[in-house]
Chains A and B, each alone.
Chain A
Amino acid sequence: MTKDYLGEFEELVLIMVGILQEEAYGNAIVQEIKERVDRDVMLSAVHVTLYRLEDKGYVKSYLGGATQTRGGRRKRIFRITNSGLAILRSIKESKVQLWKMIPQLNINTGFC
């Protein structure tokens, strides 16, 4: 089995979907990235990435309830799947192993 690869931005978006849970939709992800990592990202970039993650099976989407402010349109909510959680775990473990090999970082901060 070939190991799947996630780009840095895909990983960031996937983490935000995991954090936001039932509130994971495009604009909320853009705002969450701004608040948590102080990075300006484009809504369309987030949407393209979400569809790519969905194609790969790392997120699933469903239509939320309609609200008046959306003119009766229903919001598409994204949810992290078990495969999505598994790849995030795998990325974390790989990184931790690599960080352990950097003497200056290997000071047992309780990170692991």
Chain B
Amino acid sequence: MTFLRLVLLSLLIISSSVSSAQTLSTENAQLKGWVTGVKLVLADFRGRPDDQFKRLNREGGLQATAKVAIRSVMDVPKKKKDRATSMEKVYISPFFYKLNSISVTKDEHELDKQRLLFDLAEWFSRMARQEFAHLLDSAHHYGVIWLMYSRVMNKYCIGYQNAAEAYSLEVVAKRDENAFLSWRRRVDQGLKDTQAFATTPEDCHRLLTNLAVDEAYEPAEDIGSFVGCN
């Protein structure tokens, strides 16, 4: 009897932990969010090579291409009276766009070059999160994040796009292996320095489902000039 109880209790614990993990989705058929330990695999590159890609593969050596963008949203307390005590919540996550990413190779080294873009976006997401944390440290008032949201997100989204551009030119187009190693070192160091601000499954889930994680919150309206990171 005691053994049966133990088995039932174990099953209950396992099923509850599985269901809580399932409630935080970090990817769907189109998108894969960055979470610690995530790895892009060949099957994630679901885009089909068109004639133009095939030609660039044949004549220019283009073997794989990943589309990665940073997504973010800001939630605010639904009730205005709560805004005296509760802060805004910002969710940020890099997403890999499966249907817009193409690979015609199984070569892991070529895929590593595309994987770096995902980590690069994570680094910039962490820097944005770090800046929001610094803002709250210096002025812990409701409205500070709301005022600065567009400015901070624009800064890091443009920063990521520019870094991705430089990376793509040096590593993908010019096929400079030394440049790849140099970028890998730089991004790894960046990720190490910003570990405390890593993207969480909650960030991905919030952005994938478009539903506020905290029921007392709702998406902020009228957040100024933030145009998105795509």
Contacts and interface: CB of A to CB of B under 8 A. Distances in A.
Contacts of A42: 53, 65, 67, 100, 102
Interface residues of A, number: 24
A100 interface: no
A19 interface: no
Contact of A52 (B53, B59, B172): B59
Contacts, number: 71
Nearest to A73: B166
Interface residues of B, number: 26
A71 B172 contact: no
Nearest to A52: B60
B60 A49 contact: yes
Interface of B (DSSP majority class): helix
B163 A48 contact: no
Contact of A70 (B52, B102, B163): B163
A75 interface: yes
Interface string A61-83: 00000010111010110000000
Q: Which 8 A-B pairs have the closest CB atoms?
A: A47-B173, A48-B60, A70-B162, A44-B65, A44-B172, A9-B52, A42-B65, A26-B165
Interface of A: 7-9, 25-27, 40, 42-45, 47-52, 67, 69-71, 73, 75-76
